[in-house]
Amino acid sequence: MRLASVALDIQTQSLDRLYTYLVPDDCDISVGCAVLVEFGKRQALGYCMGLSEPFASLSDRQAGLFAVQHQLSLDDPGALKPILSVITAPYFSSDDAQVIQFIAHEYIAPISSCIHLFTPIGRTPKVVKSGDVWQLQTPARRRRPKQDGQDASALPEADGQIAQRALLQESLPLTQGQQDAFDLVCSCMDRPGGDVVVVDGVTGSGKTEVYLRAIRHALSQGRGAIVLVPEIALTPQTVSRFQTRFGQTVAVMHSRMSAAQRFDQWEALSSGRARVVVGARSALFAPVSDLGLIIIDEEHESTYKQESAPRYHAREVAAYMARLKGATLVLGSATPSIESLCRTTYDPTWHRVCLPARANGRSMPQVRIVDMASEFRQGTRSMFSQCLTQELLEVAEAGRKAVLLLNQRGFASFLLCRDCGFVPECPTCSVSLTYHEQGNQLMCHHCGYKVSAYPTCPSCSSPYLRKFGAGTQRVEAELAQLLSKRADVRIIRMDADTTQTKDAHQRLLEEFAQEGAAVLLGTQMIAKGLDFEDVVLVGVINADTQLKLPDFRSSERTFDLIEQVAGRAGRAELPGKVIVQTYAPDADAVRFAARYDRKSFLAAELPRRKALGYPPYGRLVNVLVWGETEEAVRNEAGALSAAIDARLADFAPEGWSSLGAAPCALVRVRKQYRWHILIKAPAHADVSAMIEPVIRKRKARRGVSVACDVDPYSLL
């Protein structure tokens, strides 16, 4: 006789724990299987999360021991019920079961939501109620999908050609930086201890080549690899770089694939036909056996943080997985996150290697800063400075290409003085105040500080203290006017609106790539991965939007964005120019990014973070409360805040604080009112252990939802 710990596939807070069942002797079960169990008066679906050793006969003591080991609550072992049946082959291994428990604990998330990270979408059994009876539904047996042109694994060229190109590439001598990085990664892989290598390489330094050779090394050791790239960078070009090298052994997963296509890839990995997966964030949970290597490209990207339950960060989960499975984690970026950089300075298992130069020996493009407040004073009323206008016309004249970035993150609005660039800030939190039209007020959404909007600029008395922000469409119209004498210049707009349809992203890029003059105008999504040889000009229309978002990372994000977008210019023969328009020419993020001077940027930024207890010097938890009635949401946030304060007062050591209940910067989204409580904790605190009990103890209330965001990335 054995015991199984089972997580029920029911999304109810009170049932969110593991339950113990008896395993009948003839039952063929493993960790990761979906099982049918009796629960109360109904049957329920669950997933096996752990199994005990077999017992000849089960004593209370043995059952108790198992219960303790698996943190189960076992009221009466005599009353244990048996597993009714095992429904599927395992979806995950017992190591993965540990990863699931880690995520559930670390991110205060429902365990069933963590399990479903590992199951293929739309391909799991369910127990559903039809009329009065609960019925088991298993996924239908599937026809093999027809191989249409859309198949993600379709290769763009004939196999022979590909093999030839691959050989050619692999015989290229590595640069010194590439060699150092490759050697370091290999030495970690040869003594598998879950080490982490931060590959800190400027744009165009050839990080991808390092990844490819590391994957080759993993495969030669008989081990598999996971490669994560930001969703938006998961273009056919990126994918084909991996497929060209490794052919059919590469599976691809991203959100634009159908459930059936994804399941195909899932099965290819699960059966061992494919050993490497390239995908977005969720590909971290693909069934790669004997995992030897995890690569996270552009590791600073906020897309690696999931914004719905479980609100995990792929980098942190990957580091845990690497340790558990003896794999090596590679974090690559031209602008590594401050958290990762900092970790390499004190954690002996985190290493850093630099690739300071472009692989083709070209120099980095020059960056020029334009002060828009001074342009305004000189009479410019356009969004394009005189200098950017001039350069755009020259690009058009020469038949070349330009990329224009409209920095547009979030929706929070703030006031900006068009004369001097002043932005009102919270006196205690050092973040910009959000403008609320209702009541004409400025508010700090960290701490709730409120003040009526100033009629004139407190710094220079200018009356031009105005709401800030312009949409891509308006910029496009103005650009079209500016280039109106040049009908041969294509303007391609790439933003959330124009990239809604499948493959739109790809189509727009192809249009841009065609011969002749073109301007690609877009939001953040154009900052990464673009590799066009004839881009000679990159313009950032407004470096400030991001800088002034009420978020402690806004400075870091602005720095990253300027570096990344500058990296799009002058990648080949033609030298590139970068023009950054800003109302804050003296901001550290702007002026140091323009000189590619991260050291000075960090020297300015780190003391600020330290003084305010922000990461990497502290941890944050953002408790979110939302619902349709404002009063209910406010009351719930108030009650939770009081419960948190009480727990912190009794149990928290030095360094913990709660900023109290406050309305979110985005107070109302899709008819939901939103409040939050921001909690600060010391750098290495177990935040879950402190906060989870309060959340669990809370009585579920109709119409109000609560979620914890541990190490939040969006504070809006």
In the chain, the amino acid numbered 66 is: F
Query: Measuring CA to CA, which residue among 657, 576, 97 is closest to residue 363?
Result: 576
Nearer to ligand ADP, 209 or 495 (CB): 209
Q: How far apart are CA 454 and CA 437, in angstroms?
A: 13
User: Shortest approach of Zn ion to residue 470 CB, angstroms?
Assistant: 19
Helices 554-566 and 598-612 sit at what angle, rounded to 10 degrees?
160
261/432 with CB nearer Zn ion: 432
* Rounded to 5°, angle at Cα 279 from 274 and 281: 130
Whose Cβ is closer to Zn ion: residue 239's or residue 417's?
417
Q: What are phi and psi of 481, to 5 degrees?
A: -65, -45
Residue 45 and residue 34 in contact, taking contact as beta carbons nearer than 8 Å: yes
What are the backbone dihedrals phi and psi of residue 694, each rounded to the nearest 5 degrees, phi first?
A: -65, -40
Measured from the CB of residue 172, what is the shortest distance to ligand ADP in angstroms?
5
The token pair that represents 284 in the structure block: 């971290």
Nearer Cβ to Zn ion (275/418): 418
Closest CB 465 distance from Zn ion, rounded Å: 7
Choose from Zn ion, ligand ADP, none: what does 444 bind? Cβ within 5-8 Å by kind: Zn ion
Neighbouring-strand partners of residue 327:
none
For residues 357 and 207, what is the distance between their CA atoms, to the nearest angstrom? Answer: 11
Q: Least distance from C-beta 212 to ligand ADP, angstroms?
A: 9
Residue corresponding to tokens 């002058």: 570
Q: Distance between CA 716 and CA 714 in Å, rounded?
A: 6
Taking residue 457's Cβ as centre, other Cβ atoms within 10 Å add up to 22
Shortest approach of ligand ADP to residue 180 CB, angstroms? Answer: 12
**In the complex with ligand ADP, which residue's Cβ is closer, 178 or 408?**
178
Residue 356 C-beta: closest distance to ligand ADP, Å: 11
Minimum distance between the CB of residue 207 and ligand ADP, rounded to whole angstroms? 3
CA-based nearest residue to 446, from 366, 371, 542, 552 = 552
> Which is closer to ligand ADP, CB of 241 or CB of 647?
241
Q: Of 138 and 428, which has the nearer Cβ to Zn ion? A: 428
429 binds, among ligand ADP, Zn ion, none (CB under 5 to 8 A by kind): Zn ion
Element at 688 (helix H, strand E): helix 687-697
- For residue 144, give both structure tokens: 């093999």
Residue 293: helix, strand or coil by DSSP?
strand
- Distance of closest approach, residue 253 Cβ to ligand ADP, in angstroms: 20
d(CA 87, CA 10): 17
Q: Which of 716, 694, 710, 664 is nearest to 557 (CA)?
A: 716
* Residue 321 C-beta: closest distance to ligand ADP, Å: 23
Cα four-point dihedral sign 382, 383, 388, 394: negative
- In angstroms, give the least distance from the CB of 428 to Zn ion: 5
| Residue closer to Zn ion (CB basis): 422 or 656 | 422
Task: Give the one entry of ligand ADP, Zn ion, none that residue 120 binds, where binding means its C-beta sits below a cut-off of 5 to 8 angstroms depending on kind.
Answer: none
Q: Where are the alpha helices (DSSP H) in 334-402?
A: 338-346, 372-377, 386-398
Three-state SS for 676? strand
End-to-end CA distance of the chain: 52
Q: Which does 206 bind (CB under 5 to 8 A by kind): ligand ADP, Zn ion, none?
A: ligand ADP
Of the pair 429, 517, the CB lying nearest Zn ion is at 429
Angle CA 415–612–644, to nearest 5: 100
Site residues (vs Zn ion, CB under 5 A): 417, 419-420, 422, 426, 428-429, 444, 446-447, 449, 457, 459-460, 462
Contact 21, 37 (CB under 8 A): yes
Closer residue to ligand ADP, CB minimum distance, 175 or 542? 175
Strands (E), 261-362: 276-279, 291-297, 328-333, 350-355
| Partner from Zn ion, ligand ADP, none contacting 284, C-beta within 5 to 8 A by type | none
Strands (E), 131-244: 133-137, 196-201, 224-228
Separation between Cα atoms, residue 65 and residue 49, nearest integer Å? 16
**Considering only CA atoms, which of 112, 91, 90 is closest in space to residue 101?**
112
Q: Give the nearest distance from C-beta 198 to ligand ADP in angstroms.
A: 13
Q: Work out how close the CB of 123 gets to Zn ion at its nearest, in angstroms, rounded to a whole number.
A: 46
Q: How far is the CB of 690 from ligand ADP (least distance, A)?
A: 40
Q: With CB cut-offs between 5 and 8 Å by kind, which of Zn ion, ligand ADP, none does residue 446 bind?
A: Zn ion
Min dist. Cβ of residue 525 to ligand ADP (A): 17
Nearest to 210 by CA among 302, 333, 326, 344: 333
Torsion angle of alpha carbons 373, 566, 713, 470, nearest 10°? 40
For the chain, give the longest Cα–Cα distance: 89
Distance of CA 55 to the CA centre of its chain: 45
Choose the one of Zn ion, ligand ADP, none that binds residue 589, judging by a C-beta under 5 to 8 angstroms depending on kind.
Answer: none
Which spans of this chain sit near ligand ADP (rule: CB under 6 A)? 172, 174-175, 178, 201, 203-209, 359-360
**Which of Zn ion, ligand ADP, none has residue 302 at its interface (CB below 5 to 8 Å by kind)?**
none
- Nearest approach in angstroms of CB 417 to Zn ion is 3
Residue closer to Zn ion by CB (options 449, 532) is: 449
The binder of 238, among Zn ion, ligand ADP, none, by C-beta within 5 to 8 A per type, is none
Question: Residue 316 touches which of Zn ion, ligand ADP, none (CB < 5 to 8 A by kind)?
Answer: none
Select 70 or 401, whichever has its Cβ closest to ligand ADP. Answer: 401
SS3 at position 96: helix
For residues 19 and 414, which CB has a smaller minimum distance to Zn ion in the complex?
Answer: 414
- From Zn ion, ligand ADP, none, interface partner of 459 (C-beta below 5 to 8 A by class): Zn ion
Residue 449, binding choice from Zn ion, ligand ADP, none, Cβ under 5 to 8 Å by partner class: Zn ion
Could you give the angle at which helices 159-170 and 207-220 cross, rounded to 10 degrees? 110
Residue 417: name its binding partner from Zn ion, ligand ADP, none (Cβ under 5 to 8 Å by kind).
Zn ion
Nearest partner of 343 among 559, 197, 181, judged by Cα = 197
Report the partner that residue 305 touches, choosing among Zn ion, ligand ADP, none (CB closer than 5 to 8 A by kind): none
**Residue 201 binds: one of ligand ADP, Zn ion, none (C-beta under 5 to 8 A by kind):** ligand ADP
Q: Which is nearer to ligand ADP, 329 or 465 (CB)?
A: 329
Please report how close the Cβ of residue 206 comes to ligand ADP at its closest, in angstroms. 3
Give the integer Cα–Cα distance in Å for 354 and 205.
Answer: 10
Specify the residue, 358 or 446, whose C-beta has the smaller distance to Zn ion: 446
Distance CA 711, CA 704 (A): 23
Nearer to Zn ion, 426 or 566 (CB): 426
Which partner from the list ligand ADP, Zn ion, none does 426 bind, CB cut-off 5 to 8 Å by kind?
Zn ion
